[in-house]
A = this chain, B = another copy of it.
Amino acid sequence: MVESDMRRHKITFLPMDRVCFTDGDENLLEVAMKYGVHINSSCGGNASCGKCRVKIVEGAVYSKDNTNISEDEYKAGMRLACKTSARSDIVVEIPLESQIDRTALRRKRYVPQILSVADIGSLVKGVEVEPVVSKIYIELPEPSMQDNISDADRLLREIRRRYRIDDISVDFKIIKGLAKALRDAGWRITVTIAFTKTGYKIIDIEPGNKEDKNYSIVIDIGTTTICGQLLDLADCSLPGQDDSPENRLDTCTIAETSDYNAQISYGDDVISRIMYSQKKGGLKRLGEAVKGTISKVIKELLEIGKVDMNHVSHVVFTGNTIMTHLFLGIDPKYIMLSPYTPVFSIIPSLYVEQVGIDVNEHAYVYIYPCVSSYVGGDIVAGVMGSGISKSGKTVLYVDVGTNGEMALGNSDWLMCASCSAGPAFEGGGIKFGMRAGKGAIEQVKINPLTFEPMVLTIGRLKPIGICGSGLIDIIAEFMIAGLIDRNGKFSRDLKTERLREGDGDYEYVLCYAKDTQINRDIVVTEADIDNLIRTKAAVFAGCITLVESAGLTLDDVEMLIIAGGFGHYIDIEKAQTIGLLPELPAERFVFVGNGSLLGARLMSMSKSCFLEAERIAKMMTNIELSDNNRFMEEYVAAMFLPHTNEKAFPGVIARLNEKGRG
């Protein structure tokens, strides 16, 4: 992306003489952040802190806002980096007060492997795109005395004749109104046919030709966030200019949205949800809460896509095992109690009325199969969606949500595990933690000399809090700047006002109140750091235990896919610096964002994937980590920055040593 054809202008930052490129839309603060050039800034790129002052030495720029810049300064070329963009090749000088430590410049910058939707399609190249629920227009011959078979048989006969489908039946619900529907439509109808494990089923009849009105919705029920996509099934079935599966998968996704799972009011993590479900009326309330959010997400998707609810014929749900249980109103009690058994792994196809959500009453619902109590349909969907079950390479898939869930394998074998990571990466248990959303601090750099931060938020708004990727940046930057030791404790003797004794805890002030939307200092506390260390330790320990359970070492992992809601992207090097990700070459990492949705989408758009899902779930061998001594040892060893075993992170250690932080 950085070196792409899109670049328009060269920007040279002084005094470090660092040459960068921009497509012209980015502001200078964003360009600097991307290329690892430090400019102080703590308002998230909102012009309110006035700290990112730069001097334009050469070339043309455009500035949206000149708050905090005097007329004289303006004439001298001073601008706010966060509000200024290049209009030609330019040279920019960064004033002394916010210059970066030169040593940082020597770091090799890894370009994060953020995949676009089209790129992700390439992971599942060759998948057959053939929607599970399809619509076909047919004109039936009218009954006569020579041909007076039943209406249902007339319909089936025509479909069998034209499509050579034998195992097809008419759903009982449809039979009730069939006679009227056929006659009102003058025997010219569109039939919605669902492909199920036990054959085809006619689930809806509409008058006239409605072949082009066929949509599905895929929903990932996360513990914290519920994400949905609206797919145009009619579109993806059409051969287009580029009818490669990956392109068709991409173009048919016409809306995407998400919302907080309303169950959050009843507890942050799955265990607290299960506990709540055991209270009187708790199970019902949790079910209603999640369905409420789902209905909101669906409504929004339909509004964005301008699609009529009655044209949605398929809904696919994925989620972790607990979310799936609660969504279906099934008591998850024994998931919490040793030996941690879920009630089910596979749920047959259902009707919307059986799950109780607001779409076309004829819609068919598929729930992604789960593997075990803590490896759910979201992981099965992720494994399918990222093509692991068809891969020749050995892939490690890590989904860092509230739970750390991971899968390992290839087309021949699959293993999985999960550990309680805690909700730190989704903002839980972090004083100013938040989900990746507008106003969330997602990128941070800290000047190792002045300890001044450079902060970018999603949407470049005044900060509200810190999301997962921001937290990873912060801890890594703390380490590099020497603000914290390897146990995650602040150095008490550094000369900076940003470090202070807060509410009974040492803390670092990332943004002062005036620069925020919340009018409070946004700080990172030692307790926050501790929480993050626990989380990263659990994820890392889970990965290594899983890999070793398969008789492999981390080096055998040929591709490491990262899924989850960290923010827009995650900086691999920083994630390695804190010991969250293993030290593998950058090119082995792939970020897929919400992997679960990818799989959900495939499930709706491909009959073969629909069948494959269950095979994957059954094929996955679950490694139980909750009473696993090996895992416990690994966990304890990982409760250090980056890790007790320095040999596992030679690059990180080398960089820290280089900066005298060893």
User: With contacts A179-B331, A198-B198, A331-B179 known, is A341 near B149, CB below 8 A?
Assistant: yes
**B340 touching A148, Cβ below 8 Å:** yes
Residues on B with C-beta less than 8 A from A154 are 341
Asked whether, in the complex, the Cβ of A331 is within 8 Å of the Cβ of B180, the reply is: yes
Q: Is A144 among interface residues, defined by CB-CB distance under 8 A?
A: yes
Q: Are B148 and A354 in contact (CB under 8 A)?
A: no
Q: Does A330 contact B (CB under 8 A)?
A: yes
Q: Establish whether residues A148 and B341, one from each chain, have CB atoms under 8 Å apart when the complex forms.
A: yes
Q: Which of A36-44, A83-91, A225-233, A344-352 contacts B (4 or more CB under 8 A)?
A: A344-352
Contacts of A338 in B (CB 8 A): 145
Contact A145 B624, CB 8 Å, known A348-B172, A370-B150? yes
| A427 interface residue (CB < 8 Å to B) | no
Q: Judge whether A149 and B345 touch: CB under 8 Å.
A: yes
- CB pair B344–A150 under 8 Å, yes or no, is yes
Cβ–Cβ contact B348 & A145, under 8 A: no
Residues B340 and A175 in contact, CB atoms below 8 Å apart? no
Given A346-B152, A372-B148, A624-B148, are A176 and B329 also a contact pair (CB < 8 Å)? yes
**In the complex where A333-B179, A347-B175 touch, is A342 in contact with B199 (Cβ < 8 A)?**
no
* A178 engages B344 (CB within 8 Å): yes
Query: Taking CB as reference atom, which chain B residue is nearest A153?
Result: B345
Q: How far is the CA of A331 from the CA of B183 in the complex (A)?
A: 13
**Beta-carbon contact of B169 and A348 below 8 Å:** yes
Q: For A143, what are the chain B residues with a Cβ–Cβ distance below 8 Å?
A: 334, 339, 341
Q: Does residue A373 face the partner (Cβ distance < 8 Å to B)?
A: yes
* A264 contacts B by Cβ under 8 Å: no
Q: Does A151 contact B (CB under 8 A)?
A: yes
Question: Given the complex of chains A and B, what is the CA–CA distance between A148 and B348 in angstroms?
Answer: 21
Contact across chains for B344 and A148 when beta carbons are under 8 A apart: no
- B624 pairs with A339, CB closer than 8 A: no
Chain B residue at minimal CB-CB distance from A142:
B339
Interface residue A627 (Cβ < 8 Å from any Cβ of B): yes
In the assembled complex, A252 has its CB within 8 A of some CB on chain B: no
Does A343 sit at the interface, judged by CB under 8 A?
A: yes
A346 to B183, CA, bound (A): 20
Is the C-beta of A104 less than 8 angstroms from some C-beta in chain B? no
Looking at the assembled complex, report how far the CB atom of A98 sits from the nearest CB atom of chain B, in whole angstroms.
55
- Our pick among B172, B175, B330, B334 for the contact of A175 (Cβ within 8 Å) is B330
Interface size on A, residues (CB 8 A): 47
Residues of chain B with a CB closer than 8 A to A145's CB: 338-340, 624, 627
Shortest C-beta distance, A418 to chain B (Å), equals 13
A275–B198 CA distance with the chains assembled, in angstroms: 38
Measured CB to CB, the nearest residue on chain B to A170 is: B344
* Distance (whole angstroms) from the CB of A53 to the closest CB of chain B: 60
Question: With A330-B176, A331-B180 given, is the CB distance from A341 to B169 under 8 Å?
Answer: no
Q: What residues of chain B lie closer than 8 Å to A148, measured between beta carbons?
A: 339-341, 372-373, 624
Kindly provide the distance from the CB of A469 to the nearest chain B CB, expressed in whole angstroms.
Answer: 34
Closest chain-B Cβ to A142's Cβ sits at a distance in Å of: 9
Within A303-325, the residues touching B (CB, 8 Å) are: none
Distance A172 CA – B346 CA, assembled complex (angstroms) = 10
Nearest chain B CB to A339 CB, angstrom units: 4
> How far in angstroms is the closest Cβ of chain B from A205?
12
With A144-B339, A334-B179, A338-B145 as contacts: A150 and B329 at CB distance below 8 Å: no
Q: Please tell me if the beta carbons of B624 and A151 are within 8 angstroms of each other in the complex.
A: no
Which residues of the other chain, B, contact A149 by a CB distance below 8 angstroms?
341, 345, 372
Q: Assess whether B342 is in contact with A151, with CB atoms less than 8 Å apart.
A: yes
Tell me the minimal C-beta distance from A356 to chain B in angstroms: 13
Within 8 A of B (CB), among A72-122: none
Q: Most B CB atoms within 10 A — which of A147, A172, A329?
A: A172
**Contacting residues, chain B, for A172 (C-beta < 8 A):** 347-348, 350, 354
- Interchain CB contact under 8 A, A342 and B150: yes
Q: Which residues of B contact A150 (CB under 8 A)?
A: 341-345, 370, 372
B residues less than 8 Å from A348 (CB atoms): 169, 171-172
Which residues of the partner chain B approach A153 to less than 8 Å between Cβ atoms?
Answer: 344-346
What are the residues of chain B within 8 A of A179 when measuring CB–CB? Answer: 330-331, 333-334, 341, 343
Taking a contact as CB atoms under 8 Å apart, the answer to whether A178 and B144 are in contact is no
The reply to whether A152 and B343 contact each other, CB–CB distance below 8 Å, is yes
CB closest residue in chain B, given A342: B150
A347 to B198, CA, bound (A): 16
B-chain residues with CB within 8 Å of residue A341 when the two chains form the complex? 143, 148-151, 154, 179
For A198, the chain B residues whose CB sits under 8 A away are 198-199
A/B interface sample: 29 pairs, CB < 8 A: A143-B334, A143-B341, A145-B339, A145-B340, A145-B624, A145-B627, A148-B340, A148-B341, A148-B373, A149-B341, A149-B345, A149-B372, A150-B341, A150-B342, A150-B343, A150-B370, A151-B334, A151-B341, A151-B342, A152-B346, A153-B344, A153-B345, A153-B346, A172-B347, A175-B347, A178-B343, A179-B330, A179-B333, A179-B334
Can you name 10 extra interface pairs (CB under 8 A) apart from A148-B339, A151-B342, A172-B354? Answer: A143-B334, A143-B339, A143-B341, A145-B627, A150-B342, A152-B343, A152-B346, A172-B348, A179-B333, A179-B334
Hey, which bits of chain A sit against chain B, CB under 8 A? 143-145, 147-154, 169-172, 175-176, 178-180, 183, 198-199, 328-331, 333-334, 338-348, 350, 354, 370, 372-373, 624, 627
Which 10 residue pairs across A and B have the least CB separation, nearest first? A198-B198, A152-B344, A148-B339, A150-B342, A150-B345, A145-B339, A143-B341, A179-B343, A143-B339, A148-B341
